Amino acid sequence: MSVIVTGATGSLGRFVVEGLLEKVPADQITAVVRNEEKAADFAARGVTIAIADYNIPSTFDGLFSAGDKVLLISSSEVDKDRVSQHKVVIDAAKAAGVALIAYTSAPGSLTAALADDHRGTEAAILESGLPYVLLRNGWYHENYTEQLAPVLQYNAFTQAAGEGRVASAARADYAAAAVAVLTGEGHENTTYELSGDTAWSFAEYAAELSRQTGKEIGYNAVSVEDFTSMLTGHAGLPEALAAILGGVEVSIAKGELAGTSGDLSRLIGRPTTPIADSIAAALKD
């Protein structure tokens, strides 16, 4: 039996594998990656490395065995048919008869187009008949704290979410929830709505940045149209991706990412990481 993590060298996957190494022997962990070199540090610690690609179904042939627990981390390629990519993993897991498939999904309250692929994947998992856990991850602190350079340069934080609030949590918090599910019992056929313990506004985020940096940083609220134009212009993002991100701003303004179910803190057995802590960590880097 192995605990298998797809996308294991990604931003979330690395946290998951590190967490698993604290709970189970390394030889019971399989890290599925596209680039073997990026997983060299895991291999050196005894983790089994499997090379596979969501876009090449044959690479998943024989990768799973009966009794395995699989974490399907959603593809980051939002410009592709992610449901089809995920079905490659689901089909391979079903053929092997795995004990559990867990999937990093999106909040059930999210109506933005970003959630469409997640809903399609959830449906495919339910249709497979496999024991499942849906980890509906909310927004990450790092979605903002990893983008501080322009904020500090212009002393302004620009979003199009109005007075909407975000109950985000640290990436490590969501990884800890995945580890709890993969190493614990009694989670089969459960959906968890995961979010931070506290919802914050962008004005509050700017105020916290000001407090920690000693600068006067304001929240610059703009229209969705101006926001997407900024993403395609200054940031150079493709129009399709900018439109998806703009849709998330609309959802935040509606309060769709403000829910605080408490599922995340209950799963990990501690409070979620405050946004102020993640800001402090980012400012040290």
Domain count, the chain: 1
**Where does the pLDDT of residue 1 fall: very low under 50, low under 70, confident under 90, or very high at 90 and above?**
confident
- pLDDT tens-digit map of 142-185: 999 999 999 999 999 999 999 999 999 999 999 999 999 999 99
78 falls within a domain: yes
- pLDDT tens-digit map of 85-105: 999 999 999 999 999 999 999
Which of 8-12, 209-213, 237-241, 266-270 has the weakest average pLDDT? 237-241
Domain carrying residue 67 = 3-137+171-194+259-273
Percent of the chain past pLDDT 90, that is, above it, reads: 94
160 falls within a domain: no
- Residue 69 pairs with which residues in a beta bridge? 3, 100
Q: Is the pLDDT of residue 80 over 80?
A: no
Residue 174 main-chain phi, psi, to 5 deg: -65, -35
pLDDT at 35: 94
102 falls within a domain: yes
155 falls within a domain: no
- What's the CA gap between 203 and 220, in Å, rounded? 9
Query: What CATH number did the domain enclosing 58 receive?
Result: 3.40.50.720
Mean pLDDT taken over the chain? 96
Percent of the chain past pLDDT 70, that is, above it, reads: 100
**Closest-CA residue to 155 (of 223, 217, 64):** 217
**Closest-CA residue to 164 (of 122, 121, 200):** 200
- What's the CA gap between 2 and 151, in Å, rounded? 43
Radius of gyration of the chain (CA): 19
Q: Is the pLDDT of residue 74 over 80?
A: yes
**Closest-CA residue to 85 (of 100, 73, 102, 97):** 73
**Three-class DSSP labels, the chain:** CCEEECCCCCHHHHHHHHHHHCCCCHHHEEEEECCHHHHHHHHHCCCEEEECECCEHHHHCCCCCCCCEEEECCCCCCCCCHHHHHHHHHHHHHHHCCCEEEEEECCCCCCCHHHHHHHHHHHHHHHHCCCEEEEEECCECHHHHCCHHHHHHHCEEEECCCCCEECCECHHHHHHHHHHHHHCCCCCCEEEEECCCCCEEHHHHHHHHHHHHCCCCEEEECCHHHHHHHHHHCCCCCHHHHHHHHHHHHHHHCCCCCCCCCHHHHHHCCCCCCHHHHHHHHHHC
Q: What is the pTM of this model?
A: 0.96
248 falls within a domain: no
238 falls within a domain: no
- Which residues are CB-neighbours of 264 under 8 A, at least 6 positions away? 138, 169, 173, 174, 177, 192, 194, 195, 196, 197, 272
159 falls within a domain: no
pLDDT at 34: 95
> Could you tell me whether strands 200-201 and 165-166 are parallel, antiparallel, or unpaired per DSSP bridges?
antiparallel
pLDDT at 236: 87
pLDDT at 99: 97
Which of 16-20, 86-90, 233-237, 272-276 has the weakest average pLDDT? 233-237
Decide: residue 237, CB within 10 A, 0-12 exposed, 13-18 middle, 19+ buried.
middle
184 falls within a domain: yes
